[in-house]
Amino acid sequence: MLIQKSKEYESLIDPRLLQAFKRIRRNARNGLAVVYVERDACGGCFNKIPPQRQMDIRLRKKIIVCEYCGRILVDKELAGVD
């Protein structure tokens, strides 16, 4: 369930990221926007992602949201896409 799912996310991510997450939930038509990291940049808006942030994405310990476009970022290799 979507509502249940977002409650889970709320407990996992910090308030600043949560705001971004809620923003894309409102904007994205399917309720979720996930993009891959490509060439050190966000696959959605192509802004550069700092190395530390890319590290967090690879570790997958928390949801990382692009600070520019608000999409959820996932590591391309770990996602099994090439």
Residues in touch with Zn ion (CB under 5 A)? 42, 44-45, 66, 68-69
> From the CB of 28, what's the least distance to Zn ion, in Å?
13
Residue 69 backbone phi and psi in degrees, to 5 = -110, -10
H helix intervals, the chain: 2-12, 15-27, 51-59
DSSP 62: S
Between 9 and 36, whose beta carbon lies closer to Zn ion?
A: 36
DSSP 42: E
> From the CB of 7, what's the least distance to Zn ion, in Å?
25
> From the CB of 5, what's the least distance to Zn ion, in Å?
22
